[in-house]
Each structure stands twice: as structure tokens, then as C-alpha cells.
């Protein structure tokens, strides 16, 4: 699946520790090949993130995205947020 990133996601990525950035790169690579790979724990979100999904970066870090599809184009994942569980949901 094609992947795109919001400015906010990129800003959060740049602020993250280098170990987290490497893990994000690894997980996004897995995601682009198979969005439902079990290691990602890809799942729907509710409440303020209704209509979006989350993948695990580490046991605590998450990346939030929504699937976007235009008329004739292949759908892509638009990643909008990156952070720890408490930063995103707390």
C-alpha cells in the first residue's frame, strides 16, 4: 500500500529518539508490503479518532493513519500522528 505523511506526523517523527525513528521506518516498510501483518497490530480506533486506524511501532508507540481513496486511484495510507499511547490517547 502506498503511504503518505502529514506535516504533523513528520514533525513528530523528527522529534522522536533515533531508535524510535528506526523502528518507525521498519514498521512502515512492513506496512507498505502488508498492512495487516500481525506484528503491526493494525486496528480501528474510536471516539476522537473514529474512522482512523493505528499500528504499533513499539509496545508503547503508535502511528495513526486513515485510508484515502480518490475516484480512479489506488487507496493509500495517510499517516497523521505519531506518539506514545499516553500522548495520543491520554
Q: Looking at the domain assignment, is residue 90 inside a domain?
A: no
In a domain, 58, yes or no: yes
- 74 occurs within a structural domain: yes
Whether the predicted model's global pTM rises above the 0.85 cut: yes
Residue 37 covered by a domain: yes
Tens place of pLDDT for every residue, the chain, 90 residues?
A: 899 999 999 999 999 999 999 999 999 999 999 999 999 999 999 999 999 999 999 999 999 999 998 777 788 999 999 999 999 987
Which pLDDT does position 70 carry in this prediction?
77
Q: For residue 51, is it within any domain?
A: yes
Domains in the chain, number? 1
Contact by Cβ (8 Å): 27, 56? yes
With respect to residue 66, please indicate whether it lies within any of the assigned structural domains. Answer: yes
CATH of the domain at 54: 3.30.2310.20
Range of the domain at 13: 2-85
Amino acid at each position: 500500500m502506498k503511504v503518505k505523511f502529514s506535516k504533523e506526523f513528520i514533525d513528530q517523527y523528527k522529534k522522536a529518539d533515533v531508535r524510535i525513528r528506526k523502528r518507525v521506518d521498519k514498521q512502515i516498510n512492513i506496512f507498505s508490503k502488508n498492512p495487516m501483518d500481525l506484528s503491526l497490530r493494525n486496528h480501528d480506533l474510536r471516539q476522537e479518532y473514529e474512522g482512523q486506524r493505528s499500528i504499533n511501532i513499539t509496545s508503547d508507540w503508535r502511528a495513526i493513519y486513515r485510508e484515502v481513496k480518490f475516484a480512479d486511484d489506488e487507496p493509500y495510507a495517510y499517516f497523521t500522528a505519531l506518539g506514545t499511547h499516553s500522548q495520543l490517547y491520554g
